[in-house]
Every structure is written in C-alpha cells, then in structure tokens.
Amino acid sequence: MAFDTAHDRSQPLADQALAQLFTEARTRNAWSDRPVSEETLRKLYDLTKFGPTGANASPARFVFVTSEAGKDRLIPLLSEGNQGKTRQAPVAVIVGFDVDFHETLIDLFPHAPGAKDWFPTREGRRENAHKNSTLQAGYLISAARALGLDVGPMTGFDFDAVKKEFFPEGDIEVNMIINLGYGTDENLFARSPRLSFEKAAQIV
C-alpha cells in the first residue's frame, strides 16, 4: 500500500519552515507585550515531551514563570544584564532536571522493568539527567519556534538560589532559563558567525 505523501516523513520541510526554525531564528533580547496563553504553553510542552531521551527518562522539569509575583521571585536571582529582558518577556521558563528521574522509569520505560537499576549512583543519575534535560531544552526551543514564538536562553543567574526558590522539594537542579514570547528587534545583535562544515564536521 502506498504511503500517504501528505504525511511522508522523508520529505524535507518547506524552506519557510526551516527559516522559522533555524536560518532566520534569532535569540531575542526584547519582547512585545503580546501575551502567551496557557493553552500555548500546554501545547508547547505537549510537543516538547515527544523529543527522545535516553531510556525515555524525560528528566527535565519546567516552571513557566508568567506572573508579576513569579517574576519578583526570579529576577533578583538573575545577573544584572538578564533582569530587564526577563521582566519584559511574557514567560521565563526555568528548565530543571530531576536527579531522581529513575523512579519514573517503571512508567516511562515499561518494557525494561529493571531500568531503574541501571542508575545506582547519584553522580551517574545527575550526569544523565543534566545531559538529557539539555536535550529537552533544545526540543523546547524548536517547538516554541514552530509555534511562532521567539526564545532567549540564558545561564546568567544564581543556580543554587533559583533551585532553592523554585524547586525546594526533591532532588531537582537547574539547567537554564529560557525567555519566551514574541520578540522585537530591539537590542538584537548582528548574527554571529558559525563554523563551516569543514571545520566542525567530517564524514567517515
């Protein structure tokens, strides 16, 4: 039976979609006052969650800071250069990672009932959770752009203080913060160079 070409995954996305996701997408430092709805944030997560992670561990934990009260808790913990743009952004997404992700593997990786035992040490779990949550943050960035949003990821903040303030329960650490909304060109840097294929890659 022929595959429905309308859903043929072997076909590349249109150039317009590739531009929106990659070639014309920019890290934004200023934001319009257009709000981001809870429905959009839920849709964003529902796209992000389908990105693959090792053993489907899905260790990332997300806090979507949208209220002024939430911003009042977060902004003093940021470096000075990140405070103004985070106040202006409709959403600041705190991306954390659960070091105890192995406790959910019985549900997320059910075909391997002993998967929890693959991660016996906290050090090993932390390394795994950090790597996979970084991967999930990348999926969130792509999903946000696919939904017409702009992003501004950053790591200039007090990690321990953000953890204490927003993840007081459990063994959850902080990976990064991603400002989210509809960006403007204000304070937009010129696009920085990228490495060529020859400098960054090889085919063997």
pLDDT digits (tens, 9 = 90+) for 188-198: 999 999 999 99
Q: Is 17 within 8 Å of 24 (Cβ atoms)?
A: no
- Looking at residue 9, its pLDDT comes to 84
Report pLDDT digits (tens) over 134-159.
Answer: 999 999 999 999 999 999 999 999 99
Handedness of CA 107, 110, 113, 118 (dihedral sign): negative
Q: Is 13 within a domain? A: no
CATH number, domain at 69?
3.40.109.10
- Range scoring the smallest mean pLDDT among 2-6, 117-121, 158-162: 2-6
Burial 28-51, CB ≥16 within 10 A → b, else e: bbbbeeeebeeebbeebeebbeeb
Domain count, the chain: 1
> Is 11 among the domain residues?
no
Distance CA 132, CA 101 (A): 11
The whole-number pLDDT of residue 3 equals 45
**What is the rounded end-to-end Cα distance, in angstroms, of the chain?**
36
Residue 116's contacts (CB-CB under 8 Å, 6 or more residues apart) are 102, 103, 105, 106
pLDDT beyond 90 at 6: no
Mutual angle of helices 122-146 and 38-48, in 10-degree steps = 120
Q: Does 62 reside within a domain? A: yes
Range of the domain at 48: 29-180
187 lies in some domain: no
The chain-wide mean pLDDT, for the chain, equals: 96
Q: Which two tokens stand for residue 169?
A: 């329960």
CA distance 119 to 135: 19
User: Residues 47-82: pLDDT tens digits?
Assistant: 999 999 999 999 999 999 999 999 999 999 999 999
